[in-house]
Amino acid sequence: MTGMSDKGLTQKVLIVGTSHTGAFYMARERIKTGYPGLEVSYFGMPGRVFSAALFEDGILRMADISARQLPWMDRQEIDFAPFSLIIQVGERFTLNHVMRLMAFHDVLEEDERSGRAPMSSAALTAFLTGMVQSRVDHIRGRFGADDRYCILPAPYPLARSTAPGPKHEYGLTALSLRSFADRWMARYEEIISERMQAAGLDVFLQPHETRAGQFMTQDRYARPGTDLTAPEGQVDHRHMNSDYGWQVFCAIAEHRLGLTPEGDALSTQQQMTG
């Protein structure tokens, strides 16, 4: 199924959340061309500003109008009412704590031993479930269980973040050396899906074709000028480029709306996904 312009219909879509909305905003022209039947709006804030933002009567607004905004943002509030699909970007589901929990314990039922403190698989599952549930409760308590919502977790850090240097992901590096990481990553994501579904919330996990192993994103999605050769303050292993925004939007549009991109944009998407 392709875009809906032939039916004269326009669906309004909102992409809202933390600074990770930037990947989608940078892909806005491709999205506009590839999906002429969609009218997509973008509303993002720095993570702490988004966390502090107020949500009342269906309107999300900055708690402090003097707080720092993203460079491309020109407003302080957005009304959710007009939108038929609301994609919330940037939830991390306590990822840093999860990685450290897995990396710095030996799981009794796993063969690998490192001399670290032992933990049973039942205990690890319980900890993961509790941490994920805390975030699920927060999402539902803040925004409710609106069937228009689709929660998109923040992308995993780039694979290059395991190299020594600025913005080094210490927990991710340690976890990548554990033989059981893949299995427990899968279990963690299963728990996210299970807990979100139980709460009546839709979650769309990071597409596998964008990944580079457990808890990592392929380096081809890095933003220009952010690698280890950049000035330290500009090194960034967590925020993705427009290719990532385009590819993930296409995946969500198919998942939620049954839409694929039209015209030349379809060929671009097929090349990116292989």
Q: Is pLDDT at 271 greater than 80 in this prediction?
A: no
CA distances from 47 to 54, 62, 89, 228, 245 (A): 13, 12, 10, 23, 18
* DSSP codes joined into one string, the chain: ---SGGGT--EEEEEEESGGGHHHHHTHHHHHHH-TTEEEEEEE--HHHHHH-EEETTEEE-S-TTS---TT---SEEESTT-SEEEEEEE-TTHHHHHHHHHTSEETTSS---SSPEE-HHHHHHHHHHHHHHHHHHHHHHH---TTEEEEEPPPPBGGGGSSSTT--HHHHHHHT-TTHHHHHHHHHHHHHHHHHHTT--B-PPPGGGB-STT-B-GGGBPTT-STTS-GGG--SS-B-HHHHHHHHHHHIIIII-----THHHHHHHHHH-
Domain boundaries along the sequence of the chain: 11-273
Mean pLDDT over 61-78 rounds to 94
pLDDT at 154: 97
pLDDT in tens, 218-237: 999 999 999 999 999 999 99
Mean pLDDT rounded to a whole number for the chain: 93
pLDDT at 7: 47
User: What does the alpha-carbon distance between residue 85 and residue 32 come to, in Å, rounded to a whole number?
Assistant: 16
pLDDT in tens, 21-40: 999 999 999 999 999 999 99
CATH topology of domain 11-273: Rossmann fold (3.40.50)
What's the N-to-C CA distance of the chain in angstroms?
Answer: 20
User: What does the alpha-carbon distance between residue 23 and residue 18 come to, in Å, rounded to a whole number?
Assistant: 11
Mean pLDDT over 168-191 rounds to 95
Mean pLDDT over 126-152 rounds to 97
Tokens describing residue 66: 């003097």
pLDDT at 269: 57
